[in-house]
Amino acid sequence: MSSAPGIELERSIDSIRVGARHRTDLGDVRSLADSIQKYGLLQPITVTPEGVLVCGARRLAALHLLGLRKVNVWVRAGISDRLTQVLAEKDENTLRKDLTPSEAATLYTECKRLLAEDATHRQVATRFGATAPPGQDGAVKLTAPSERVGDSRAQAAAMATGNKSFTTLERIASLQRVAADETAAPEVRAHAEAAIAAVDAGAGVWPAFQQITGELAAAELERMARSPDHTSENREAAQTAAAQLRSGGDVPTGEKPELVARKALARARSDADNKARDAAAQVRRFAFTWNDLREWWSGYDPAVLAEGTSAEDWAAFEATLEGSLAFAEDIRRRRGKT
């Protein structure tokens, strides 16, 4: 297990250096200070081992306003210069206005990528006792919880928005990837761009994500339906599955388009199998019914029936006979006989 990039420890507030990259107008710090005084510091300030602020300028100003002298900080060892710059730019930008959902997702994606690069550098630096690259000397030797995928996504989300929840950011990022994917169908890319604009305007993320995921899966199934590399049965099932998704069929929560396509195809195949079984059962029932009725009239006397059958019963017989003859004619036509 590789070491995590930092540790939470207590530090003197005055020893934290903000640097010139952060703006001096931090907005309504008083309200934030009141919140910290009431609920505590819910998200630690992040600094480098040298005490340079990475993110949390408003929280630091609020702590100064409260007159506190020490605070627990999260120390990032081996953080890249680019990630520090990105977070500083984010702090400056969010002072002017809140990030739109798509801007937050873009920042989240970049933070996640840079965190992955930092993790790779640390692995290289520690493998076989290799020396860490300049600026990544691992000044903090103690370890924090291990960096699983979920941890890195939560960390990137916290860096981008101050909240560790990354599900919505992942979905918006997925829409952004589709909109930028030149290999995707033009109409799907256009729908993804429209969905992003709608989300920035206040629309829900999940319906947009579900729609685009379904469109991607349907496009994949339609390609399969046109491909000569598949059997006619699979092509037909793929076309059926695509049509179901296009008509608003359910898309399983949180699944990738490829998996949605596979599940839709499996469902279509299952439906086709069920129809085939039902068809076979119908043929058996038809044969049984008419074999059972073979020469049924031989057991009846027409004279007796003509005299004793009520008008209502005779009308029912005539209707059944008329329907049976029409049904037989339809079958003859379909079987190619006249």
Neighbours of 41 (CB within 10 A): 17
Distance CA 283, CA 270 (A): 20
Which band of pLDDT confidence, cut at 50, 70 and 90, is reported for residue 155? confident
Q: How far is CA 75 from CA 138, 156, 245, in A?
A: 11, 15, 48
Opening angle at CA 227, ends 222 and 230, nearest 5:
105
Distance CA 134, CA 125 (A): 10
pLDDT in tens, 6-36: 566 788 888 888 765 444 556 778 888 888 8
Kindly tell me if the per-residue pLDDT of 147 is higher than 50.
no
E-strand ranges in 89-160 read none
Three-class secondary structure of residue 10 per DSSP: strand
Query: Element (H or E) spanning 8, and its range?
Result: strand 6-12
pLDDT for 140 equals: 33
Opening angle at CA 325, ends 321 and 329, nearest 5:
170
Instruction: Indicate the domain borders of the chain.
Output: 1-96, 98-125+151-202, 204-290, 304-338
Kindly tell me if the per-residue pLDDT of 290 is higher than 50.
yes
Mean pLDDT taken over the chain = 77
The answer to which of 28-32, 33-37, 147-151, 206-210 has the lowest mean pLDDT is 147-151
pLDDT in tens, 236-256: 878 887 887 787 766 655 566
Listed in sequence order, the residues at least 6 apart from 168 whose beta carbon sits closer than 8 Å to its beta carbon are 101, 205
Q: Nearest-CA neighbor of 100 among 37, 40, 150, 175? A: 175
Structure tokens at 55: 């993110």
Which band of pLDDT confidence, cut at 50, 70 and 90, is reported for residue 316? very high
pLDDT in tens, 92-135: 555 445 778 998 898 888 888 888 877 776 666 555 454 444 44
Which band of pLDDT confidence, cut at 50, 70 and 90, is reported for residue 312? very high
Class for domain 1-96, per CATH? alpha beta
| Residue 302 contacts residue 314 (beta carbons within 8 Å) | no
Three-class secondary structure of residue 73 per DSSP: strand
Ranges of H-type helices in 181-256: 186-200, 205-226, 232-246
Q: Nearest-CA neighbor of 305 among 296, 322, 290, 323? A: 296
- Residue 213 Rama label (left phi>0; alpha psi -120 to 50; beta): alpha
Kindly tell me if the per-residue pLDDT of 194 is higher than 80.
yes
pLDDT for 144 equals: 35
pLDDT in tens, 53-94: 877 788 888 898 999 988 888 776 656 666 666 666 565 555
The answer to which of 84-93, 161-170, 186-195 has the lowest mean pLDDT is 84-93
Distance CA 29, CA 22 (A): 15
The mean pLDDT value for 276-290 works out to 84
pLDDT for 43 equals: 75
The answer to which of 48-52, 81-85, 89-93, 188-192 has the lowest mean pLDDT is 89-93
Listed in sequence order, the residues at least 6 apart from 108 whose beta carbon sits closer than 8 Å to its beta carbon are 156, 157, 159, 160, 161, 166, 169, 173
| Residue 102 contacts residue 200 (beta carbons within 8 Å) | yes
pLDDT for 52 equals: 81
